[in-house]
Amino acid sequence: MDEATLVEWRVKPGDRVERGDIVAAIETSKGVIDIESFDSGIVDALLIEPGVKIPVGTALARIRSDAPGTPAHSTPPAAPAPAPPAPATPPSPAGAAGREGRVRASPAARRHAAELGVDLARLHGTGPHGVITIEDVARAAPPARSTAPPPDMRATIAAAMTRAKREIPHYYLATGVDLHKATLWLAEYNRERPVTGRVLMGLLFVRAVAKALTGFADFNGFYKDGAFVPGPGIHVGVAVALRGGGLVAPALHDADGNTLDAQRPAFQDLVTRARSGHLRASEMADATITVTSLGERGVDTVFPVIHPPQVAIVGFGRVAQKPVVTADGGIAAHPVVQVSLAADHRVSDGHRGGLFLAAIERWLQTPEQL
Amino acid sequence: MPPQESIRDIVLDALAGIAPEAAGAPLDGARNLREQLDIDSVDFLNLLMTLHERLGVDIPEADYAQLQTLDDAVAYLERRRAAPARS
């Protein structure tokens, strides 16, 4: 990325900002990302107008630091990874807004109409007593905008994957992991919790990989200038498919640390923001390995492509009932997932990769320690 | 809750929040929601959180299979609102 366009300011002169606060949104060739302040202080001046195209490294604003006399600059990131497509610009509220008294519509239908720019006054309600329902609004809405990812995002994925396949000598391993114990444990864990406190199997996968990495540093980091550089922490990129196509893999920072309970909201929030286009620059650039999980409706096994300059990616297929030989020699139907690894042969060998997958399996067999 | 806002509207509203890019297209009430809207497990959990907040109904994990289509979800939520919580 060489340049970006400032989309909007989220702060104004005189505002107090803390380090890490979102101060602006910029549009890059990879979509819109949120920019965090690198410093704490008072916003002194905004130096760039929205809509202006700026080269990377340009100072966007002047922040008066808490330590007097040390001005700090907030700048676009040097190299964000692929970002999601720009969120839709909300259309202006519907014309019905001024005539609400005469239009009978459900509150949900009103909100929906405002979002879609539908004029309620022109609709015929099919609800009780002619009330306009949300479905009436949906029928009247203009055709959904194209959900294809922006062409730039396709080009970014193409460039990264072409580089991966051209430069990285991948090797691939896969193994089936019996999730009988993990599934029972998770059901028990979630049973007493309200919906806001429940953990998804996908987070157990991410944590199992992160915990296993503590003994396998050669899968966590980057291949740069002909040598392996270990990652500064275990920041697991969580691959999130975007509904219209394309994907992003923002980092869940320090995925091996903290507790499952503490990490649950961060995981939920990260994936939700990935899909709504509100990732932070630090999340786009920091991943030291990637985990891709194709979900319940996918396939048994994924053969993933490494995201350069990372050196490994772990894939999880769907969890499916399979016949398993149990400890007593019988056969039972258990939930099984195919865990696969694609790793960089310049950094590790198949033997190491096999041990790494076995470590991931061991963690999944002791879910209570995740 | 205003009386004219049906459970169906609330579910549709919650879905529009989760899959805004699909909000323009009418939904088939009998088809699997996850397939129609390309909803993943995180989206689904967000949907349940919104429904919990709006309707005060907490949906146990064991009941997820009863919310696979819009029609099923509405029927389930109406039942649960009429006869709250086992547990």
Interval A6-19: pLDDT, tens: 888 888 888 888 88
Residue A143 has pLDDT above 50, yes or no: no
- Average pLDDT rounded to a whole number, residues A177-186: 97
The residue of A111, A192, A243, A337 whose CB has the most chain B CBs within 10 angstroms, and thus the best one to mutate to test that interface, is A243
**Residue in A108, A198, A243 nearest the CB of B38:** A243
Q: Phi and psi for A347 in degrees, rounded to 5?
A: -115, -40
The pLDDT score that the predictor gives to residue A17 is 86
Longest distance between any two alpha carbons in chain B, whole Å: 38
Q: How confident is the model at residue A352 (pLDDT cuts 50, 70, 90)?
A: very high
The pLDDT score that the predictor gives to residue A127 is 73
Residue A231 and residue A218: Cα distance in Å, rounded? 9
Residue ranges of chain B whose CB lies within 8 Å of a chain A CB: 2, 4-6, 8-10, 12-13, 16, 19-27, 34-35, 37-38, 40-43, 45-46, 48-49, 52, 58-62
Residue A301 has pLDDT above 90, yes or no: yes
Residue A92: other Cβ atoms inside 10 A? 9
This complex has an ipTM of: 0.82
Q: Which residue has the higher pLDDT, A356 or B57?
A: A356
Q: Which residue has the higher pLDDT, A111 or A162?
A: A162
The pLDDT score that the predictor gives to residue A76 is 46
Least confident window among A120-134, A154-168, B21-35: A120-134
Whether the bond between A309 and the residue before it is cis, its omega within 30 degrees of 0, is yes
Amino acid at A284: M
Q: How confident is the model at residue A96 (pLDDT cuts 50, 70, 90)?
A: very low
Give, in degrees to the nearest 5, the angle at Cα B64 between B60 and B67: 125
Q: Which residues contact A200 (CB under 8 A, 6 or more apart)?
A: A267, A268, B41, B42, B45
Rg, C-alpha atoms of chain B:
12
* Residue from A208, A180, A202 nearest A321 by CA: A180
**Contact between A177 and A363 (Cβ < 8 Å):** no
- Average pLDDT rounded to a whole number, residues A207-236: 97
User: Is residue A296 less than 8 Å (CB to CB) from chain B?
Assistant: yes
For residue A211, give Cα distances in angstroms to A138, A251, A257, A288, A357. 46, 15, 8, 14, 12
Give the distance from residue A134's alpha carbon to the nearest chain B alpha carbon, in angstroms.
6
Residue ranges of chain B whose pLDDT lies below 70: 1-4, 22-24, 84-87
The pLDDT score that the predictor gives to residue A44 is 81
The pLDDT score that the predictor gives to residue A182 is 97
**Residue in B12, B25, B41 nearest the CB of A144:** B25
Residue A49 and residue A38: Cα distance in Å, rounded? 20
Q: Long-range pairs for A355-360 at CB < 8 Å and ≥24 separation?
A: A355/A216, A356/A212, A356/A213, A356/A216, A356/A219, A356/A312, A357/A173, A357/A174, A357/A175, A358/A175, A359/A212, A359/A215, A359/A216, A360/A177, A360/A208, A360/A209, A360/A212, A360/A314
The pLDDT score that the predictor gives to residue A90 is 36
**Residue in A138, A190, A268 nearest the CB of B42:** A268
How many beta-carbon pairs below 8 A join chains A and B?
110
Structure tokens at A215: 């003994």
The pLDDT score that the predictor gives to residue A258 is 87
- Average pLDDT rounded to a whole number, residues A165-178: 98
